[in-house]
Structure 1
Amino acid sequence: MPAPQVTTHANDPLERERTHLSSSRAALRAMREDVEALDIKDVTANWVNAAVLERQIEDRITALADLAHTPLFFGRLDYTHAPGAEQAEGAEGEQFYIGRRHVHDADGDPMVIDWRAPVSQPFYRASKKEPMDVRMRRRFGYTGGELTAYEDEDLTDTSAADQASKLLQAEIERPRVGPMRDIVATIQPEQDEIVRAGIGGTVCVQGAPGTGKTAVGLHRVAYLLYAHRERLARTGTLVIGPNRSFLHYIEQVLPALGELNVAQATVDDLVAHVEVRGADRAEAARIKGDARMAEVLRRAVRSGVRMPEESVVVVRGSRRWRVPAYEIEEIVRELLGRDIRYGAAREALPQRIAHAVLVRMEQAGEAPDDRVQDAVARNAAVKAAVKAVWPAVDPVKLVLRLLSDAEFLAEHADGVLSAEEQAEILWAKPARGVKSAKWSAADAVLIDEAADLVARTPSLGHVVLDEAQDLSPMQYRAVGRRCTTGSATILGDIAQGTTPWATASWQEALTHLGKPEAAVEELTQGFRVPREVIAYASRLLPAIAPGLAEATSVREAAGDFAVRAVPGGELDAAVVAACRESLEREGSIGLIAADARIGVLGALLAEAGLPYLAPGEETTAEARLTLVPASLAKGLEYDYVVLDEPAAVVAGEPDERTGLRRLYVALTRAVSGLTVLHAEPLPGQLG
């Protein structure tokens, strides 16, 4: 493959491409101006419709923004024939520019094709073996938003072997400054298959570090919104991340692709029924997150149901209608047997009792209608009977009682949790009320489960769950409730599971999620982590995830990689020096350390005059160093990483396996270079 062409001659192809870029930007501005000029004063009938339409117009204007440093198009496809007319004799090929969004000229003719359109798919999948009717694929190189290079690939020349694209490599290795960016110009064939998978099924992506699984999930959302916009506009989409720092890091990806209305949240946000002010011991959190707790809660929710002891007598006018206790008991048992939501059954009970009264009315020769049934259902005697037989349940108060009342817990956990497990999750001091309770994050998930047992949780059209390996079974259930009638994209890496309840297999996780039929795709080809770095980190795989294949890297550059042993008294100075050295290079720098070391290192950096950011804060040209606790490193990436004392990272976790997984995460955050500094011996697995 020829090297990228860079010329400045007026009639050179590069100059013609620059002209097309200028024309496309002008067309995009015209499209935006057309929307800005819309007058809706006489279009809508009321202020509600006007407000909705105005919001839609504002979103459209925002989506049509021309981002100065974001290439409008990044590739071009020259088809051998006109798409859809491959067999037509004499059909001429067409040329399409592939970009982040659709742009058309004043006549409606496309100048840039959205990367999600079917005609764009060969840009990612075509090869000399399978050209997909593409004659030539062109990639463009940009510097600061200016088109500076192009690179052609002749897919009809089968005599030459496929070669790696230099521009593709350059884009992958471009320094990271600021939030996560899209990978729309670098999507690989195996990633594209996942991105364009149909909306009907759930996809689980097992991805080694640097394989782009997070970006794949976000681009899949963008693709589904393109292909099924009306459906998802009604049902909604949601991206779930592990923490706020992570969500802040990825939040600009979808807007850069023109998608503005995708909600983002953490699992804690989803189950925020109470204020979390407490924390569980690791074993207590593990038990509360166990799927067996769902059965304990189901029993507890239904525990208030009582069989009637008295008949219900309804007075209407001069007549008295009696429904005997045994008949009401039959209704109650039938509702219990149907296993419907507690609240739905409670709402059905008065209607069923009222129906029994109407039957008696009809037998007596009356002709009651639905209005009479509704009136009977609201009768004081019926309401009193329902309150006694099927009392209302407050999910928060129920969980409060379960965790603070030993007898209540023992009654409903009998045969499910052992006595030792019950004692572990029982609060040492019973809370005096809901407001005084020090709820933990695991408690909030239990409340969410109880709330769903009472009333069904609304379902979304599509949910993306990232870093899914760290969720407990009860958290999986909480997420699964949000997509019972929709689909999901599950992203994660078993080797990076760092919670005490981290999933052992994707099949187990998908079962808890309620999507056991989901397809599991494995990404092992890395694009972010340098070869030497991923090879070094992979030495830990036999100990932390023996069933996973070792990741490879397409990166030609080995990266800057060093492991340095320093005397104990010199470690702090060596870390500061390594950060200062890294800052002499272009790009972002992450100093990753055990959580217990963050305070010490922060003081050292301040003393050395090196300003630093917290995870999630946006790096700029002036502030490029981020001090990262190992517990928050997951999902983040930096051009250069300085890793402080691996042994301390491992020791900061409850057990060695979890500690080694945490270390694996820390080792694989680097894009261009990694420096490991240690005074204590390295874990034996690293050799």
Structure 2
Amino acid sequence: MDSYQENYQEEIEYLRKALAFIEEEVEKEAKNLEEKKSDLIAARKDMYENTIHASSDFESLVDINLHSMQINNYISSYNPQRFKNLKKMINSPYFGRFDFIEKGCSEKENIYIGLYNLMDRNTGRVYVYDWRAPISSIFYRYELGEVMYDTPAGISRGDVSLKRQYKIWNSKLKYFFDCSVRITDEILQEVLSQNTSAKMKNIIETIQKEQDIIIRDRDHELLIVQGTAGSGKTSIALHRIAFLLYEGLNSNLRSNEVVILSPNTVFSHYISSVLPELGEENVEQSVFDDLISEVFQGRFGEETRDMQLETLIHSRGKTSGEVRRQSIDFKGSRVFKQILDRLLWYYAHRLIPFEDVYYNGTILATRQQLKNRFLHNEIGIPMAKQLKIIETFLLKKVHPLQKKRLQRLEKIVEKSEGHEFEIKSFSRLLAIRQAVAFRERIRKFTIVDYRDLYMLLFKNHGLLLKLARGLTLPETNKEIILTTLQNLQKGQVHYEDYAPLLYLKLKIEGNDVVSGIKHVVIDEAQDYTPLQYEVFRILYNNATYTVLGDIRQTIEKTADGLLYDDISEILNKGKMIKLSLNKGYRSTCEINTFAQALLGEGTQQGYASIERHGEEPKVIPQETLEAMDRSIVEDIAKFTEQGYESIAVICKTQGEAEKVFGRLKKSVQLTLIKPRGGEVTKGPLVIPTYMAKGLEFDVVIGYDVSKENYVSDFDRQLLYITCTRALHRLVIYYKGDKSPLI
């Protein structure tokens, strides 16, 4: 028997033992869960039958409380997660192994790596180590020879004499191979050559060294990652969350204390299965649009980010488009944040209409006394709350029972309008009216509204220019001021106004929007403005951050590497690190080369692509849109026959996507992805460029990349995003003259 066959038999035997143990544990867990479920039902029944349902008797309340505590204990002990994890492991218990001798020891350990820990709690034997366990980092980071890894007790060292990777499917060992380096290209190539799915999958079998460093980082409160398209940024972020929650036993981090800020709901759906696959549930996903909708409740209209992008694309080359672009840059800038801060100071020191307060001919407080009380705010109470304190102070001087009594008096006055005879004493009525009028009078300076303050900035002639003294304003500042004022007067604003309005609201009223979040993941970091990061800093003031982006995929504004400097300064964390991921894993070399060339000379410096080859991208002219549609229908049929499961026809705008979908659906069954509530499915689909960011498809068909449709630097970014979505095949169609960008 040769060496491979001997090793093969040993591996078959180990797999058999591991699976047998898993099946035993599954049976035990199933029985255990059933017993706990029965106990819970019995406890609830006992409580219902043997306690008084409503009582003020002390002994009865104690009895009810004891039963409730018992039921809560049963509920907390009923945890089906281990049962679910064990069931998942039956298909493939592990994917890797390394043989390790710890320094100072002579005994070799065979360390198997899988999705979850598998340990015999009676004997202490570990069949499989969780990929997140400290010792598992050796598998991802080291070659054969001397290694080290972090443990709770410090750095542990040793030697690795063997590294092995497995393909196990349906509980069967398909093959294994030994590797002297880290995760080898062989297993990576196999994974990358497969078709993509409708939802993102976990990458625990193919995590690379540079990715593992990011995933396991615990030393920094702010971790910023600049990664090229296809470098695995989002996957890394999700696996990092899973790692941090695994480590949460030490850091007290729970899944409901983590939030992922996604660029749109389509992307949120796409990544939604990764963390549950890794055994982590209840991690919140949030989209800035949804946050705005929740906070403002439709107060300012309904413009969303996709609507903003559509407007920008359609207004390309027009004066209105340039004004809008400058407005987006300006209102999201740190300069505008300075102006808003100056506005808050100016309002507090100059514009609050404090006045001398009298009641029944007696002065309660002078204007200057009230102003001094308001400005003497050493602990930083938000403006609205500080003014409320002053209101309460004055009302208490009028009547000790101030608040509840005045509320009752207001209701009496409302009911008595036109029916004064219902209040027996005329003098009593006068007193009531006097008290209510007093409250309304002081509310002229104790109520502040963030919308009114924002409007004041644009309505008060010259105020914005005055507050911007020493700062650089956009060339179109007059047009921006006029347009913003007109929108506010109609009760509407542009999307770029949401962050300034929310910033003012938070500074004036305080943060009552979110709480309890300890870690924030911000994906597609380049999509957010500095002012939005100021909002995040206030919303998640006690959190640590993982921020991931690619400045080359910026669409609606100008951006460069300085964006990350802004993020670092704004979030202001004590320990910060910025890392780069320059290797693309998604696309073939041919597609990567084509996409990188779109960005021009110098952009490929430091960039590397995984050595996976395929067909060259095709750029195909067509005489008419009808001919283009026919060719695309034929392509979809051909690619489907070749086994490709996800085929995306990517259009420049949502409007174009809807028209193309309307024509193509007559000949082929496909899905239209819409910005709100859309979800990527298997099969052919039509999607606008900006919605495709972060997604990947087996085949990408770029629609009408003509000179008329793609010509500016703005269009270049859209086209780059389109091309970098493709895993295996890229086809570009155009009508008339080809875009000068390709």
TM-score class, shorter-chain normalisation, is 0.7 to 0.9
Q: What is aligned with 2:174?
A: 148
Which secondary structure state, in structure 1, belongs to the residue aligned with residue 224 of structure 2? Answer: strand
Question: Within the alignment, does 1:444 sit opposite 2:444 as a pair?
Answer: no
Cα distance in 2 for residues equivalent to 1:66 and 1:192? 26
Residues 1:223 and 2:281 aligned together: no
Name the structure 1 match of 2:226.
206
Aligned to 1:560: 615
Is the 1:63–1:259 contact (alpha carbons within 8 Å) kept by the matching residues of 2? no
CA gap of 1:538–1:70, structure 2 versus 1, over 3 A, is farther
What is the CA–CA distance in structure 1 between the aligned matches of 2:460 and 2:359, rounded to whole Å?
A: 39
Residue 365 of structure 1 is matched in structure 2 by none
CA distance in 1, matches of 2:457, 2:83: 49
Deviates more, 1:246-255 or 1:448-457: 448-457
Contact kept in structure 2, 1:289 and 1:501, CA below 8 Å? no
Aligned to 1:626: 685
Residue-pair matches, total: 638
Cα pair 2:537 2:571 within 8 Å, conserved? yes
Match of 1:24 in 2: 22
Say which of 146, 153, 164 aligns to 2:184. Answer: 164
Q: Distance in 2 between matches of 1:20 and 1:452?
A: 55
Which residue, 207, 231, 240 being the options, matches 1:187?
A: 207
2:98–2:162 Cα contact (<8 Å) kept: yes
**1:478, CA displacement in angstroms?**
2.3
Does structure 2 retain, via aligned residues, the 8 Å contact 1:199–1:224? no
1:61 Cα offset (Å): 6.2
Tell me how far 1:267 sits from its aligned partner: 1.5
Deviations 1:489-536 (A, max 9, x none): 111111111112545533344146424763211101222221121112
- The one-letter code sitting in structure 1 at the alignment partner of 2:703 is D
Contact 1:479 1:513 survives alignment (8 Å): no
Q: Which amino acid aligns with 1:214?
A: T
Task: Tell me how far 1:423 sits from its aligned partner.
Answer: 3.5
Deviations 1:535-585 (A, max 9, x none): 121112336xx5673521223x31222323333233332222222221122
- Indicate conservation of the 8 Å contact 1:98/1:114, yes or no: yes
- CA contact 2:33–2:80 (8 Å) conserved in 1: no
Q: Indicate if the aligned counterparts of 2:260 and 2:284 stay in contact, CA closer than 8 A.
A: yes
> Is 1:111 the equivalent of 2:127?
yes
* % identical aligned pairs: 23
User: Helix, strand or coil: the match of 1:180?
Assistant: coil
Q: Which of 241, 255, 258 is residue 276 of structure 2 equivalent to?
A: 255
Per the alignment, in what secondary structure is the counterpart of residue 607 of structure 1?
coil
Match of 1:289 in 2: 332
**Which runs of 5 or more structure 2 residues have no equivalent in the other structure?**
45-64, 149-158, 309-323, 407-434
The C-alpha deviation readout for 1:583-638, integer Å capped at 9, x for no partner, is: 12233222222225323432343222343453753434xxx212221121110001
How far residue 241 of structure 1 moved from its aligned partner, in angstroms, is: 1.1
Q: How does 1:445-524 map to 2 (within 5 A)?
A: 445-457=499-511, 458=514, 460-502=517-559, 505-511=562-568, 513-515=570-572, 518-524=576-582
Kindly provide the CA deviation profile for residues 406-438 of structure 1, in whole angstroms up to 9, marking residues without a partner as x: 5496487553657942542444785798xx723
1:268 paired with 2:268, answer no
| Residue 191 (structure 2) pairs with residue 137 (structure 1) | no
Deviates more, 1:339-348 or 1:41-50: 41-50
Q: Is the 8 A contact 1:630 1:662 kept in 2?
A: yes
Q: CA deviation at 1:55?
A: 7.2
- The aligned residue for residue 98 of structure 1 is 113
For the 8 Å contact 1:643–1:677, the answer to whether it is kept is yes
TM-aligned CA deviation for residue 486 of structure 1: 1.5
For residues 628 and 241 of structure 1, the distance between their equivalents in structure 2, rounded to whole angstroms, comes to: 18
Aligned residue among 114, 119, 138 for 1:122: 138
What's 2:386 paired with?
345
Q: CA RMSD in A?
A: 4.1
8 Å contact kept, 1:205–1:490: yes
Q: Which structure 1 segments of 5+ residues have no match? A: 156-161, 358-372
CA displacement at 1:130 relative to structure 2: 4.5
- Give the Cα–Cα distance (whole angstroms) in 2 for the partners of residues 217 and 131 of structure 1: 26
> Alpha-carbon deviation of 1:51?
6.4
1:247 shift after superposition? 0.7
- Contact (CA 8 Å) 2:391, 2:446: kept in 1 or not? no
Q: Structure 1 residues 277, 333: CA separation in 2 closer, same or farther (over 3 Å shift)?
A: closer
The structure richer in helix per residue is: 2
- Deviation (angstroms), 1:291: 3.0
User: Which one of 81, 104, 109 corresponds to residue 87 of structure 1?
Assistant: 104
1:369 maps to none
Asked whether the equivalents of residues 29 and 83 of structure 2 are also in contact (C-alpha less than 8 Å), the reply is no
Q: 1:589 to 1:512 in 2, by over 3 A?
A: farther
| 2:693 matches 1:647 | no
- Offset of residue 394 of structure 1: 3.1
Q: Is the contact made by 2:220 and 2:576 (CA closer than 8 Å) also made in structure 1?
A: no
Q: Which residue of 1 aligns with 2:632?
A: 575
2:89 is the alignment partner of 1:71: no
Contact 1:235 1:461 in 2 (8 A): no
| Counterpart code for 2:556 | T
Amino acid at match of 1:80: I
Q: Please say if 1:394 is aligned against 2:449.
A: yes
Aligned to 1:246: 267
Q: Deviations along 1:383-426, whole A, 9 cap, x unmatched?
A: 969945852223345446656x4549648755365794254244
Assess if the C-alpha contact under 8 Å between 1:566 and 1:678 holds in 2.
Answer: yes
Query: Using a 3 Å threshold, how does the CA distance of structure 1 residues 498 and 324 change in structure 2: closer, same or farther?
Result: closer
Provide closer, same or farther for how the CA distance between residues 642 and 307 of structure 1 changes in structure 2, counting only shifts above 3 A.
Answer: closer
Equivalent residue, structure 1, for 2:599: 541
CA distance in 1 between partners of 2:330 and 2:480 (Å): 8
1:415-430 pair list within 5 angstroms: 415=469, 420-427=476-483, 430=486
- Partner Cα distance (2:256, 2:621) in 1: 56
Shift of 1:285: 3.2
Q: Distance in 2 between matches of 1:432 and 1:538?
A: 43
Deviates more, 1:391-400 or 1:263-272: 391-400
Distance 2:32 2:689 in 1: 49
The 1:680/1:626 distance shift into structure 2, 3 A limit, reads same
How far has the Cα of 1:255 moved from its partner?
Answer: 0.6
Is the CA contact 1:78–1:135 (under 8 Å) kept in the aligned structure 2?
Answer: yes
Q: CA deviation at 1:674?
A: 2.0
- Rounded Cα–Cα distance in structure 2 between residues aligned with 1:6 and 1:285: 65
Distance 1:658 1:481 in 2: 32
TM, length-normalised to structure 1: 0.80
Q: Secondary structure at the match of 2:166?
A: strand
Report the counterpart of residue 720 of structure 2 in structure 1. Answer: 664
Deviation of the 1:5 alpha carbon: 7.3
Change (3 A) 1:130 1:508: same
Distance in 2 (CA, whole Å) between partners of 1:647 and 1:250 is 33
Q: Which amino acid aligns with 1:534?
A: N
**Residues 21 and 266 (structure 1), Cα distance of their counterparts in 2 relative to 1, 3 Å cut:** same
Corresponding residue for residue 11 of structure 2: 13
Q: Please report how far the alpha carbon of residue 449 of structure 1 lies from its aligned counterpart in structure 2 after TM superposition.
A: 0.7
The CA distance in 1 between the partners of 2:690 and 2:216, in whole Å, is: 33
Tell me the alpha carbon deviations over residues 39-63 of structure 1, each in whole angstroms, 9 at most, x when there is no partner. 4576984759956973784573685
Q: In the aligned structure 1, how far is the partner of 2:359 from the partner of 2:141?
A: 73
* Aligned partner of residue 239 in structure 1, secondary structure: strand
Instruction: Indicate if the aligned counterparts of 2:19 and 2:90 stay in contact, CA closer than 8 A.
Output: no
Partners of 2:6 and 2:442 lie apart in 1 by 83
1:330 alignment counterpart? 372
